Amino acid sequence: MATLTMPSPPPFEKPQSRPSADLQSLITEKPNEASAGLDTKSAIEIARIINHDDTKVAAAVKKALPEIAMVIDTVARSLRDGGRLIYVGAGSSGRIAALDASECPPTFSTAPSQVQYIMAGGPKALASASDVNEDSPELGQRDIARRRPTRKDIVIGISASGRTPYVVGATEYARSRGAKTAAITCNPNSDLSQVADVTICAEVGPEVLSGSTRMKASTAQKMILNMITTGAMTRLGYVYENLMVNVHMKNAKLVERGISVLMKLCDIDRETAIRTIKSAGKSIPIAVVMLKANVDKMEAVRRLQKSDGNVRLAIDDSRLEL
CATH level 2 (architecture), domain 252-321: Orthogonal Bundle (1.10)
Q: Which residues participate in catalysis according to the annotation? A: 103, 134
Residue 122 pLDDT grade (very low, low, confident, very high; cuts 50, 70, 90): confident
At 140-191, the pLDDT tens digits run 999 999 999 999 999 999 999 999 999 999 999 999 999 999 999 999 999 9
From the list 304, 296, 184, the residue with the least C-alpha distance to 236 is 304
Tell me which H or E stretch contains 89: strand 85-89
Domain ranges of the chain: 23-235, 252-321
At 252-299, the pLDDT tens digits run 888 999 999 999 999 999 999 999 999 999 999 999 999 999 999 999
pLDDT of residue 3: 47
pLDDT at 59 over 90: yes
Least confident piece of the model among 39-43, 63-67, 210-214 = 210-214
CA torsion 160-163-169-170 (nearest 10°) is 10
At 221-248, the pLDDT tens digits run 999 999 999 999 999 999 999 998 988 8
CA torsion 258-289-296-80 (nearest 10°) is -100
For residues 116 and 123, the model is more confident at: 116
Report whether 278 contacts 258 (CB < 8 A).
no
Distance of alpha carbon 18 from alpha carbon 27, whole angstroms: 20
Tell me which H or E stretch contains 182: strand 180-185
At 128-141, the pLDDT tens digits run 766 667 889 999 99
252-321 and 23-235 share a CATH fold: no
Buried b (16+ CB within 10 A) or exposed e, 94-111: bbbbbebbeebbbbbbbe
At 5-49, the pLDDT tens digits run 544 444 444 444 444 446 667 888 888 888 889 989 999 999 999
DSSP 248: -
CATH level 2 (architecture), domain 23-235: 3-Layer(aba) Sandwich (3.40)
Give 243's Cβ-side CA count (13 Å radius).
19
At 71-105, the pLDDT tens digits run 999 999 999 999 999 999 999 999 999 999 999 99
Residues 6+ apart with CB under 8 A from 142: none
From the list 179, 193, 211, the residue with the least C-alpha distance to 86 is 179
Distance of alpha carbon 169 from alpha carbon 258, whole angstroms: 42
pLDDT of residue 77: 96
- Residues facing 88 on adjacent strands: 118, 157
Least confident piece of the model among 112-116, 205-209, 219-223 = 205-209
Residues 6+ apart with CB under 8 A from 221: 92, 93, 96, 158, 160, 184, 186, 202
